[in-house]
Amino acid sequence: MFLSTLFAIGSACLQDGDSREIRIAAAANFKQPAAELVRIFQEETGRNVTLTTGSTGSLYAQIENGAPFAVFLSADSERAEKLESAMPAASGTRFTYAVGKLVLWSPKKGMVDDLGTVLNGEFNKLAIANPKLAPYGKAAEEVLRKMEIWDKVKGRIVRGENVGQTFQFVSTGNADIGFVSLSQVKGKGGSFWLVPQELYTPIEQQAVFLSEDEGAIEFRDFLRSERAKEVIRSYGYDTR
């Protein structure tokens, strides 16, 4: 069923090869840079782009159920790889467009130091994205387990559907601190701990292109360009 659904999506996209519209699904943590990249791309090409953001897991499920996205900017490599394997049009299109960085953040100055000491107990609620849906949530759980404090703090965890909702929990005071992406807190003030890479598996954010449509190919080339990489790095990601 899954494969037949994807094949149907691919056929629909190919039949619509002359369309000027491109539908892009992007992980919630990449919302701001994706919006800027889309703006630049539209200015350069004159194409119309519809951008949808959400948790990687929920966007993947939408594609599985027939959502006609031409581009999927995942927050992990696993789901991008599954789509590439399942869909002929996507074969050979997958690549890492960004490497994410996890931070523990609070809008309050001085609450989070550069060692994450606050996790030892000086908080009421800790927000993380749902580990089953969002790679940043999975990374957060991995950090807490490696620090051997998961059992100690799990009763005070509130879960967002995605890292965007997790950020909202913290920014509105519904949680004191939260694990989010570095890109979300740049320029926001407050205090944060840049989590050491050895505490979680690198967040390889991969793109996969579900259509051989001309517009999707143009966006693929643009996303791999140095100009696009400069934008992505400006939001706190690494690029390759």
- Domain check: are 43 and 58 in the same one? yes
- Domain check: are 94 and 107 in the same one? no
The rounded distance, in Å, linking the Cα atoms of 67 and 85 is 18
Provide mean pLDDT across the span 155-162.
96
Domain limits at 39?
2-99+203-234
Provide mean pLDDT across the span 186-191.
92
> Residue 121's Cα: distance from chain center in Å?
29
- Domain check: are 19 and 93 in the same one? yes
Does residue 240 lie within any of the structural domains? Answer: no
Provide mean pLDDT across the span 156-167.
96
Element (H, E) at 174: none
Give tens-digit pLDDT for 56-112. 999 999 998 989 999 999 999 999 999 999 888 889 999 999 999 999 999 999 999
Give tens-digit pLDDT for 23-71. 999 999 999 999 999 999 999 999 999 999 999 999 999 998 989 999 9
